[in-house]
Amino acid sequence: MPNLNPQQRLAVRHIDGPLLVLAGAGSGKTRVITHKIVYLIEQCHLSARSIVAVTFTNKAAREMKSRIGQLLTKGESRGLVVSTFHALGLNILRREHEILRLKAGFSLLDAQDSRALICDLHQQEFSSGGEESSFQWQISTWKNALVTPEEALCRASNDQEAIAAQLYAAYDRRLRAYNAVDFDDLIGLPVHLLTTRPEILSRWQNYFRYLLVDEYQDTNAAQYQLVKYLAGVRGAVTVVGDDDQSVYAWRGAQPENLHQLKEDFPQLTVIKLEQNYRSTTRILRVANQLISSNPHVFEKRLWSALGEGDSIRVLTCRDEHHEADRVVAELMYHRFKYRTACRDYAILYRGNYQSRPFERALRAHGIPYVLSGGTSFFERGEVKDIMAYLRLLANEDDDNAFLRVANTPRRGIGAVTLEKLAGYAALRGQSLLVSGFELGLGEHLSGEALPRLRRFCEWVVDLADRGRRGDPIAVIKDLIADIDYRAWLDENCNDRRTAERRMANVEELVGWLERLYQRGDERRALGDLVAEISLQDILERTQEKKDRDAVNLLTLHAAKGLEFPYVFMVGMEEELLPHRTSVEQGTLEEERRLAYVGITRAQRSLCFTMAEKRQQYGETILCEPSRFLSELPAADLQWEREGIPRDPAERMERGQVHLANLREMLRQ
């Protein structure tokens, strides 16, 4: 461990009892986790299969596993579990599904499927609609807080909460009828099992002998309980986190979980990582000063050996368009002067809508950029179609999937047929697919409707049977060929190029399933593939954004965990950062943490910008500087207002930049 500092070595070698590693931004927390896993295997002689490392994103899990693979000799890491919380929960549910009365091929509903189900239930139960998003958020909040439908109904303090609680109960019943779980169940149901079944708790505690958790400040109540139960009385757990970087309260994250550890594990040891390997001293001084205004249970102060660094500039602009033009001009000048790459720059903002002027300005100068966010791969219609087919093959009780694909592509099974089938299935208390085979259905359907429906159901059952007995990838390819999905896209897309792009997405999905099937030595059934791929963020695998030489445009939330040599933090104004809603709701501390996250993304230089006025809802509003700017050390800020005379040499350089950029654009 020669490349670790003294505090990092302490954290790696501490195995006697629970450990909290309070890791500041850029302090090498991933290095600590990976080296500790190696230490547990090589020095403590723990089997890799008995170690589990948990984080929040697939990208982080892949990076961690890759680093561990480089540190261990071949074969030493076999069986090591490095996964997200939800993938770990899915693993537990797969093994314990019978106790929860789930069949082996249970479906996993995504956010859109859940919302559609809640919408359907709301209309059925209350003959109204339009509030499904708020109900979906409330149900998810209850699940993450481990509140049951019965408890939610007892706690309801008004009619709206009572309706939400009733919907929650109906939604839960419908999930069980569909042999399905939603994303929140992947944590809640395992916690329920570990809480109520001592023999299951004992089995999993013995299976995982050591637990490591990354980004612990982002855990919600359910995730905290999962960690607590798996760690058990032995307290064989290391959690790594930073309460100053907890910015996901809207997603249920509870930074107080760091403090709760001390209550649940009195023997807890705390080790602080305060040396920052990312940023200059000036950037860290500004960050430390800002976050010192927040209350702390665990005090820490970041420091760096990378030198003082440049002054932090504050640019005052006329409006949002002038702000964008000025940032892009500064970026172009800096690139020209220091011969840097586009990927070295990041423009960070509070809300997605703030990116538009910057996109316009970058396009106007022919500067490539990467915009975070956008439509998820799995939210695209063609991908949802194929995934719905696969979910139905894996789970015959998945009525949501049945309804999506029964007439996609069109096969003469219309809305009236499906409505009558649903009514009959409800009377019989069984799934739509099973009901499609019953003789009694003939009393409800006439003409060609019944044989068309039967042919579809028989085809599904045949494919599902082949998927269970043979090669699931061959079955998937046959499915796409049978429905002639390419022709369906050609018919329904506005142009040939769109149809080809959407078909390419389908082919990418199949290719990824095939790679998943061939990975490792464990044979995966179709249901396993469907469950695994539903958890993945395919954007991280299919888009090579990090390899593109492009300016990074992203929100402060999306920037967490990343770093860039040169950072522009834009929109440093009251009601933007801090956001007006947060000020009204009294969550100013989280907004300060968000600003802290933005500042600590910068490695070499940091520039703030603010506008004197902005367009909002068609009106021009006057802006005030963010209160956070006044909390920073004045000596480290260099305010630059428009109209200040520039050095003649700098004016000449900037003119050369403009001409060089024009010539470059003409060559393209």
Residue list, annotated binding site for ATP? 23-30, 278
Torsions phi, psi for 391 (to 5 deg):
-60, -40
What's the CA angle centered on 316, arms 598 and 369, to 5 degrees?
50
Q: What's the Cα-to-Cα distance from 601 to each of 146, 296, 487, 544, 567, rounded to whole Å?
A: 34, 21, 47, 21, 7
Torsions phi, psi for 536 (to 5 deg):
-85, 150
CB 626 within 8 A of CB 574: yes
Binding positions are 23-30, 278
**620 CB-near residues (< 8 Å, 6+ apart):** 613, 614
SS3 for 450-488 is: HHHHHHHHHHHHHHHHHHHHCCHHHHHHHHHHHCCHHHH
Torsions phi, psi for 269 (to 5 deg):
-105, 140
Furthest-apart CA pair in the chain: how many Å?
Answer: 90
Among 558, 551, 546, CA closest to 349: 558
Q: How far apart are alpha carbons 93 and 162 in whole angstroms?
A: 30
Three-state SS at 2: coil
Count other C-beta atoms under 10 Å from residue 153's C-beta.
15
Among 2, 28, 476, CA closest to 276: 28
DSSP 646: P
- What residues act catalytically? 29-30, 214-215, 245, 601
Count other C-beta atoms under 10 Å from residue 438's C-beta.
12
Q: How far apart are alpha carbons 336 and 342 in whole angstroms?
A: 11
Pairing state between β 345-349 and 51-55: unpaired
CB 365 within 8 A of CB 327: no
Pairing state between β 602-611 and 312-317: parallel
DSSP H stretches of helix in 265-313: 281-291
CB 268 within 8 A of CB 619: no
Count other C-beta atoms under 10 Å from residue 41's C-beta.
21
CB half-sphere exposure, 146, CA atoms < 13 A: 16
DSSP H stretches of helix in 580-647: 580-585, 588-599, 627-630
Omega of the bond leading into 472 within 30 degrees of 0 (cis): no
Q: What's the Cα-to-Cα distance from 561 to each of 168, 388, 467, 578, rounded to whole Å?
A: 34, 33, 40, 21
